[in-house]
Chain A
Amino acid sequence: MQTKKPRKTMNAKQITAVFRDESVLLTALKKLRENGVNIRDIYGPCANHDLIRNFTRESRLPYLSVLVGLFTVVATFAFIYYVAVIDYPLRYGGKPIFSFPPMVVAMFLLAILVTGGASTFAFLGRTRLFPGKEVSLPGPRTLDDRFYLVLDENFNPGEIKQWLSESGAEEIIENEPSE
């Protein structure tokens, strides 16, 4: 299973196969995988769970979120303890100066806020999405109704093209890489 998006090889031609149906694309993907072909990426208008599961490994984002969440809980506790017990121990209504239950509310809410924000920014950073980014799509209907399977033409291009057309690709395009 591919874990990372492969780096672009210079001067290599690309093969782009166009698919209309995700299930057909899934068969083609499995076929290529069986034969050890490295796929650059698949572009499409929506996410399909079976495709994703067969294409790449699960994201590690949740691990980061758990770490950030735990850190926020501890940091919030430390902050409130400093404020309410050490720096400004004001006794109101005869209540104890150090009381854990009301701290839980702020710890819980801040954990959600900070974790949500951190996960979002981690996602944007990892996928390199930012306002004003230049986009080059493999085909005009990528975000509409077609799926594009893009791979580098590194070895046995004839065979690869045959597998693709056998599994039901609507169109196979050979082109120079755009960059």
Chain B
Amino acid sequence: MLSNETSVALVKGNKSYGQITGELLATVEGKTPLWWFAGMTIGTILLAIGAWAVYMSLAEGLGTWGLTNSVAWGWDIINFVWWIGIGHAGTAFTIFFLVFRQKWAGSINRAAEAMTVFAVVCAAMFPLLHMGRPWLAFYILPYPNTRLLWLNFNSPLFWDVLAITTYLITSIMLWYLGMVPDLATIRQRTKNKVGRFLYGMFSLGWDGSLYTYNRYETLMKLLGGLAAPLVISVHTIVALDFAVSVLPGWHATILPPYFFVGAIFSGFAMVLTLMILFRKAFNLYDYVTEKHLDNIAHVLKYGSLVIGLAYVTELFIAWYSGVEYELHTFFHARASGTFSTAFWIMFAFNAIIPQLFWFRKARQNLVVLFLVSVIINIGMWFERYIILISSLAQDFLPSSWTAYHPTMVDIGIYLGTFGLFTCGMLMFVRYIPIVAVNEVKPISRQGHANEKTTQDHER
């Protein structure tokens, strides 16, 4: 699928290790750029809007949301599925790197993992708030209690709690352990007392011993291997939340693989969006090369084909089944009728526009790459909107059909998660090297086998 030939240079410029350390730590050691403060301000404003919306939800109750008797899952679950989908790419990259030995993923997987962690935290906000009384969230854990009740272990909603918790904790372990050697490098170089204390604490006394590296490599491969099935299981279980119900449009065996591909698709699109911004902001052109962006564009191209196939298959099966409810949902609610605009936006944004990436010119044009990556994530939001709202708003009883509109509180919470994500990512890029220094060093020689490092500067 993706080229891994040894002739392709993964890091441009045949750099020495010292140079790599200096260049990659410049993002942490340099002065804070002005745009960072601007980004933080916007993020904080969004976070404040989110805090207001959360306050309203808790103080006034879920009546402040746009939910109705039929549309019991609205913006909250749309956004939950959307964020979880975005959160899939980090682990996917780690698996490419650790399990499939796709060395090119080495310079992206740190940023992708960070994105995963923040996206999953954003996603977890929604079901937590949807409980109405999140301080009683521990009720969903199976423990002996005075209520003399146990959980229903056959419920996908319980599986979802387990799946997301497992995914979040495993992602944090992979992300954090991956950065320990780099934190140690910063600890040795920083002159700031507070910085040395904090980096010293978090680097766990790492000394670069080969014995430690040996065990460390084994552990990372092990965690990568353990996380690999999680990438598939998390979104499969999210899909089961819908698929085990009896609603037309939800009750389909295609849903788990369809959700999984959608998640990888939207996650990779978000990685592309962020990497284009980061490589420009931090001058990482030598580490995140055109080849990296090209590889992600290839993944998106094939992802788009599979997604398109899933859309068409759903329509075909609805027609082929001959069930009038299915026919209504797919042809009268989605493809034509109330939700047709959203449906065709979804279809065009996810299945048609990314086909541009068959052309090399489109893959090499940064503006096209960036726009398409943003378009895909808008399209993926509409996909979740279509799945949820079109099936719920027009259910089996036409007398209870209703229109669904989000309220300001719904929109506020969504904006708040954007604030959380923006602030989290900005804190990450400021205090932790975006590119994994210790992982890039061994792959930096690839493609420069017969050249001598020319710029080995002495300090």
**Which residues of A are at the interface with B, using a C-beta cutoff of 8 A?**
5, 20, 41-49, 51-52, 55-56, 58-59, 61-62, 65, 79-80, 83-84, 87-88, 90, 92, 95, 99, 102-103, 105-106, 108-110, 112-113, 115-117, 119-120, 123-124, 126-137, 140-145
Q: Is the CB of B442 within 8 A of A46?
A: yes
Query: Is residue B441 within 8 Å, beta carbon to beta carbon, of the partner chain?
Result: yes
Query: Is residue B204 within 8 Å, beta carbon to beta carbon, of the partner chain?
Result: yes
Q: Is the CB of A116 within 8 A of B170?
A: yes
| A61 CA / B208 CA spacing, docked (Å) | 19
Subset of 16 A-B contacts with CB under 8 Å: A43-B207, A43-B210, A46-B181, A46-B439, A52-B217, A55-B214, A88-B150, A109-B159, A109-B163, A112-B229, A119-B223, A124-B204, A127-B211, A129-B212, A137-B208, A145-B18
Q: Is the CB of A52 within 8 A of B169?
A: no
Most interface-central of A42, A49, A88, A120 (chain B CB within 10 A) = A120
Q: Is the CB of A135 within 8 A of B154?
A: no
Residues of A within 8 A of B180 (CB): 129
**Which residues of B are at the interface with A, using a C-beta cutoff of 8 A?**
16-18, 20-21, 142, 149-154, 158-159, 162-163, 165-166, 169-170, 173, 177, 180-181, 184-185, 187-189, 200-202, 204-219, 222-223, 226-227, 229-230, 233, 237, 437-439, 441-442, 456
Q: Is the CB of B233 within 8 A of A108?
A: yes
Q: Is the CB of B438 within 8 A of A61?
A: no
Q: Among B20, B153, B442, point to the contact of A106 (Cβ < 8 A).
A: B153
Chain B nearest CB: distance from A125 CB in Å? 11
Chain B nearest CB: distance from A79 CB in Å? 8
Sorted nearest first, the 10 A-B pairs with minimum C-beta distance are A133-B205, A145-B17, A145-B18, A59-B218, A129-B204, A46-B441, A47-B213, A42-B210, A113-B166, A88-B150
Q: Is the CB of B214 within 8 A of A59?
A: yes
Whether A112 contacts B150 in the complex (CB less than 8 A), given A124-B204, A145-B18, comes out as no
| A58 CA / B170 CA spacing, docked (Å) | 23
Q: Among B165, B181, B204, B216, point to the contact of A143 (Cβ < 8 A).
A: B181
Q: Is the CB of B438 within 8 A of A112?
A: no
| A108 CA / B151 CA spacing, docked (Å) | 18
Q: Is the CB of A131 within 8 A of B201?
A: yes
Residues of B within 8 A of A79 (CB): 142
Q: Among B18, B166, B438, point to the contact of A109 (Cβ < 8 A).
A: B166
Whether A56 contacts B214 in the complex (CB less than 8 A), given A109-B166, A117-B169, comes out as yes
